[in-house]
Amino acid sequence: MEITDEKVENNKYLDRKVITFTMKKEKGEIIKLEDVKSKLAEKYSDGFLVIYTLKNVYGKNETKGIAHLYTNEDTAKKVLQKAILKKNSIGEDGKEKQQ
C-alpha cells in the first residue's frame, strides 16, 4: 500500500489543511482506516489528523481519500460531525479511544 497523488489545500476559515490522496493497493488487499491514518501521520505530524472519507475506485486497485489536518483537537471537535469523530475513534473528551 502506497500513497500517491497528494494534494494539500489550506482552509484558513476552518483552521485546517485538506489532504486529498490516492492509495495504490495490491489485488484483494483491504485498506483499514488505522493503516491509512498511520501512513499519513508519518508525513503530517504537525497537527491533529482525521480521515474524512475513503472510497474504492471501481475497476482499479485504488482507494481515494480525504483527510483533514487541524492545528489542535479542540478545533476538530468543534467543526466535525459526530459521525466522523466516532469513525476515527475520537471520544467525547477529544482524545482517541483505546481499543
**How many residues are listed for the chain in this entry?**
99
Q: What is the pLDDT of residue 99?
A: 47
* 44 lies in some domain: yes
Task: Encode burial over 25-48: b for 16+ CB neighbours within 10 A, e otherwise.
Answer: eeeeeebeeeebbeebeeeeeebb
94, part of any domain: no
55 with 31: CB under 8 angstroms? no
| Domain total of the chain | 1
Looking at the predicted structure, is the pLDDT value of residue 92 above 70? no
Domain boundaries, position 26: 2-87
| 21-67 pLDDT tens trace | 998 888 888 888 888 888 888 888 888 899 999 998 898 888 899 99
Looking at residue 6, its pLDDT comes to 84
Decide if 22 is inside a domain.
yes
- At residue 88 the predicted structure's pLDDT band, cuts being 50, 70 and 90, is confident
Tell me, yes or no, whether 95 lies in a domain: no
* CATH at 75: 3.30.70.330
57 burial (CB, 10 Å; 0-12 / 13-18 / 19+) is exposed
One-letter identity of residue 55: K
The answer as to whether 99 is a domain residue is no
Cell of 11: 482552509
Q: What is the pLDDT of residue 36?
A: 87
pLDDT tens track for 3-32: 877 899 998 898 899 999 998 888 888 888
97 — pLDDT class (breaks 50, 70, 90): low
Give the burial class of 21: count Cβ atoms within 10 A of its Cβ; 0-12 exposed, 13-18 middle, 19 or more buried: buried
Residue appearing with cell numbers 469523530:
85
